[in-house]
Structure 1
Amino acid sequence: MSAAERLAALDDMPATELCASAEAALNELVAIMNEETTLLRAGSFRQASHLTPEKTRLAQDYVGLARSVQRQIARLREEAPVELDRLQNGHERLATQMAENLKVIASARNLTDTLLTETANVVAARERTRTYDESGTIPAVTQGSAGIAIRKTL
């Protein structure tokens, strides 16, 4: 099925079914983001990273459905106003969860960057020359002289 056919199929769904599908995708996305946020707060970064593929798939599904809802908004207001209101309330929950999730991700990244910088400084300090140079002074510390390799997955 081509992309145009998938879009047409979404747009042709009955109003209540389209709203229900979008709401189900939204609820699953909110749930997985909540789970990720909880894991990140607990410091379980590896476990949280395993949720990324599923979170990405759910986000793509929701965006496709949400765009269809936007294209069909006039019809949905007429044919399924209660379901549309419920979907809009759910979207507000998603926005709140996304803001919290992004805040926790930013904190985790900041913590990771701080730990990496401190680790690099410790490694550099261990490798620093502790002898006098020809002028009779100990050479100044050169930041970043020692390299460390990091694989960032978060």
Structure 2
Amino acid sequence: MTAANRLAALENLDAATLCSRAETALSALVEVMNRETTFLRAGHMREATALTGEKTQLAQDYVGIARAIQRVSDRLKAEAPDRVERLRRGHEALATQMAENLRVLATARSVTEAVLSDVAKSVGATTAPKTYAAPGQPQRQAPEGIQGLSINRAL
């Protein structure tokens, strides 16, 4: 089934069914984003990353339903104004959750970069000699095996 066919099928649903599907998708998306944010705050990156597939699928589902709702919004407002208002408030809650999620992701990325940069500097730093050679110059040491660390900044 093409995206256009899925959108048309959603648009043809009665107001109660379409709003119900939107509420279910919205609730599930907010819940998974909340779990991800909680994991990120606690420093559990692997657990947060494990939610990526589920979050992506839920977001795609919600966007598809939201598009259908936008296209038939006049009909929905006439047939189910209370449900439409509830969806609007739910969408605002999603926006708030997304903003918080993005703040936590940015913080996690910043902390990760800082830690990796510090490690790279420490690993790449040469140890300066603490004594002098005969002519009064610092002794030179042979280069060590580790000369630096490569960092992939993609999070």
TM-score, normalised to structure 2, is 0.85
2:80 alignment counterpart: 80
Per the alignment, residue 93 of structure 1 pairs with 93
Aligned: 1:66 with 2:101: no
Aligned to 1:49: 49
Residue aligned with 1:54, SS: helix
Q: CA deviation at 1:5?
A: 1.4
Instruction: Give runs of aligned pairs for residues 14-53 of structure 1, distance below 5 A.
Output: 14-53=14-53
Native 8 Å contact 2:113 2:153 kept in 1? no
Aligned length: 146
Residue 138 of structure 1: how far off its partner (Å):
8.2
* Structure 1 unmatched ranges of 5 or more: 140-144
Equivalent pair of 1:129/1:138 in contact (CA under 8 Å): no
User: Is the CA contact 2:16–2:80 (under 8 Å) kept in the aligned structure 1?
Assistant: yes
1:130/1:22 Cα in 2 relative to 1: closer, same or farther (>3 Å)? same
Structure 2: segments with no counterpart, 5+ residues: 141-146
C-alpha displacement at 1:151, in angstroms? 8.5
Distance 2:103 2:77 in 1: 34
The question of whether the paired residues in 1 share the 8 Å contact of 2:10 and 2:68 is answered with yes
**Could you tell me how far 1:146 is from its partner in structure 2?**
1.2
Q: Which residue of 1 aligns with 2:148?
A: 146
Shift of 1:48: 0.6
Larger-Rg structure:
2
* Paired AA for residue 84 in structure 1: V
3-state SS of the aligned residue for 2:149?
coil
The DSSP-based 3-state class of the residue aligned with 2:94 is helix
1: distance between equivalents of 2:55 and 2:113? 24
Residues 1-16 of structure 1 correspond to what in structure 2 (within 5 A)?
1-16=1-16
Structure 1: which amino acid aligns with 2:2? S
Overall identity of the aligned pairs, in %: 53
1: CA distance between counterparts of 2:153 and 2:117?
A: 14
8 Å CA contact retained: 1:124, 1:146: yes
Question: Counterpart amino acid of 2:23?
Answer: E
